Structure 1
Amino acid sequence: MMYWNPEQYLQFEKERTQPAIDLANRIPQKAVDRVLDVGCGPGNSTKVLAERLPGARVLGIDRSLEMIEVAKEQHPALQFMQWDASQDLEGLGPSFDVIFSNACIQWIPDHPALLGRFMDRLNPGGILAVQVPMNNREPIHQIIQECISSPRWKSFFPETRVFFQLQPEEYAAILAGWTDQYTLWETVYYHRMPSHRSILEWYRGTGLRPYLQVLPAREAEQLELEILARLEECYPKQKNGEILFRFPRLFFLAQKPHISSHEE
């Protein structure tokens, strides 16, 4: 199991939380009692949901015990539980009015089955709200994949990371099989980064973690230096010295029908 470092992740809390805010702001506020935050991390998205949906009972779940411990410490008024979202959600109690997931499902395989399980746990009329990073074609990901596949590094990584994101058209087809009340949109965020090393720090908390944690310290440092040199080539500095870090994200909302096709 991959170890997650909450402190590393929260170095860019504002940038990581903004998509959760943007997604939560699209959720209708009517008749919301129980809310599930899937992949809550250190609780920043759970806090967003509690503020957006006052009075709702919000439960944050995450596979990482380290993330859950920090979430409980930083947000003691909210409820958190360690739970693997790739497994059955039946043990989480009654069904939910909102199931929310911000930048989590890209780590979980078989999205048709996963989203089906989410829909099954929604009350009739409930809302599924999901944000998925779509940056696997961006320079940072290309750099990482090329480095770890090179003769210098590939022996350390017999299994490289698999990206489970689907294309928007595929998500639309999945959702259309459940409901005609769904919408998708994409936002490209341009994060203002003070240096190329800041981009490296960002990815130490996410996309680089599967590789760094299996390398000895000396080799991990060498891999980071190699990636940093490539970042300097691919991300030009602005006149003010900042780096624009482009980050596309896909969002979708879907409402579960009040009467399912199985009941008609």
Structure 2
Amino acid sequence: MTDWSANQYLKFKNERTQPAIDLVNRICVESPKKIIDIGCGPGNSTEVLGRRFKGAYIAGVDNSEHMIAEAKKNYPHFDFSLCDVGGDLLGLDKDFDIVFSNACIQWVPNHRLLLKNLLGLLGNGGVLAIQIPFNFNEPIQQIIDEIRTSEKWTGYFPWKRPYHTLNPSEYYDIFSEIATDFEVWEVTYYHVLKSHEDILEWYRGTGMRPYLSALSEEMKPLFEQDVLNGVIHSYPQQKNGDVLFRFPRLFLMAHPI
């Protein structure tokens, strides 16, 4: 898969950052000294942490060189570095007051092990706070899945994109064994976009990446046009021409035992 594009991702910076703001505002830790942002991307969520917890040491990690470069350029006062959170976390400290992750771990397999490892980065009294897109049943995801498996396109995608996100009940059961004072909740955002093309533009930076990276430059616009046709059919325009892009997100918060 090609590296992430920070420019593409940040085309909807405000909408992508709002869940991070909402999650940060739920964190009740008095004067945290050390915070880590897991899957920090271009640093927009790290900036939210910095505004909320002034004076704390804040680190951000991501497995994308382009994202880390963008984060270092825009927010040089934070400590950014490359790290694959789905791999070895032994190089990270184990005394963070807050382990935070906004829209990242849906790309990482084995959430039972991952959550255990992330909790292991916390010191006494620390908190793990996570937000995950939870839009499997939304039209945009169903459109892409239907197109991917259609006779026209199935030969281009012999693999099936793995979905690592679990359901709320499964997360609850995991936390009941490895954490204390844990919460699981869901929020649905209605992002106001100006056109159907904006939905396509949004997904170019995230959910469509595995498919676009598997296609030639010649085939990419054809695939995108099929997705756009489905979007036009499934998302009605408002009276003023805007389009409401419904986007459920799952939130997880827990303290280590």
Taking structure 1 as the reference length, the TM-score comes to 0.95
Alpha-carbon distance in 1 for matches of 2:102, 2:86: 15
**2:179 alignment partner in structure 1:** 179
Do the aligned partners of 1:29 and 1:53 also contact (CA within 8 Å) in 2? Answer: no
**2:59 alignment partner in structure 1:** 59
Alpha-carbon distance in 2 for matches of 1:159, 1:95: 40
Please give the per-residue CA displacement for 1:131-152, whole angstroms capped at 9, x wherever unaligned: 0110011000000011111111
Please give the per-residue CA displacement for 1:171-210, whole angstroms capped at 9, x wherever unaligned: 1111111233111211100000100000000000000011
**1:260 alignment partner in structure 2:** none
The alpha-carbon deviation at position 97 of structure 1 amounts to: 1.0
Do the aligned partners of 1:135 and 1:248 also contact (CA within 8 Å) in 2? Answer: yes
SS at match of 1:180: strand
Query: What aligned pairs does 1:100-249 form with structure 2 within 5 A after superposition?
Result: 100-249=100-249
Alpha-carbon distance in 2 for matches of 1:63, 1:159: 23
Do the aligned partners of 1:88 and 1:117 also contact (CA within 8 Å) in 2? Answer: no
Query: What aligned pairs does 1:11-90 form with structure 2 within 5 A after superposition?
Result: 11-90=11-90
Please give the per-residue CA displacement for 1:78-109, whole angstroms capped at 9, x wherever unaligned: 11001000012120234211110101000001
SS at match of 2:150: coil
- Give the aligned residue type for 1:189: Y
Alpha-carbon distance in 2 for matches of 1:159, 1:57: 42
The alpha-carbon deviation at position 71 of structure 1 amounts to: 0.5
The alpha-carbon deviation at position 48 of structure 1 amounts to: 0.5
Alpha-carbon distance in 1 for matches of 2:2, 2:182: 33
Please give the per-residue CA displacement for 1:18-45, whole angstroms capped at 9, x wherever unaligned: 0000001111131411111000000000
Alpha-carbon distance in 1 for matches of 2:55, 2:178: 28
Alpha-carbon distance in 1 for matches of 2:33, 2:216: 47
Alpha-carbon distance in 2 for matches of 1:34, 1:2: 32
Deviates further, 29-38 or 200-209: 29-38
SS at match of 1:245: strand
Alpha-carbon distance in 2 for matches of 1:44, 1:180: 29
Q: Which runs of 5+ in 1 are unaligned?
A: 258-264
Percent of aligned pairs sharing the same letter: 48
Alpha-carbon distance in 1 for matches of 2:18, 2:174: 26
Alpha-carbon distance in 2 for matches of 1:123, 1:93: 9
Please give the per-residue CA displacement for 1:195-241, whole angstroms capped at 9, x wherever unaligned: 00000000000000111112111210000001101100000011111
**1:3 alignment partner in structure 2:** 3
SS at match of 2:77: coil
Taking structure 2 as the reference length, the TM-score comes to 0.97
Please give the per-residue CA displacement for 1:107-126, whole angstroms capped at 9, x wherever unaligned: 00100000000111111211
- Give the aligned residue type for 1:69: A
SS at match of 1:91: coil
Alpha-carbon distance in 2 for matches of 1:106, 1:94: 23
Do the aligned partners of 1:99 and 1:129 also contact (CA within 8 Å) in 2? Answer: yes
Task: Name segments (4+ residues, structure 1) moved above 4 Å.
Answer: none
Does structure 1 residue 98 correspond to structure 2 residue 107? no
- Give the aligned residue type for 1:227: V
Do the aligned partners of 2:92 and 2:121 also contact (CA within 8 Å) in 1? Answer: no
| Coordinate RMSD, CA, aligned | 1.0
- Give the aligned residue type for 2:20: A
**1:261 alignment partner in structure 2:** none
Alpha-carbon distance in 1 for matches of 2:148, 2:125: 45
Alpha-carbon distance in 2 for matches of 1:88, 1:98: 19
Alpha-carbon distance in 1 for matches of 2:73, 2:49: 18
Do the aligned partners of 2:94 and 2:120 also contact (CA within 8 Å) in 1? Answer: no
SS at match of 1:230: helix
Identify if the C-alpha distance between structure 1 residues 162 and 168 changes in structure 2 by more than 3 Å, giving closer, same or farther.
same
SS at match of 2:178: coil
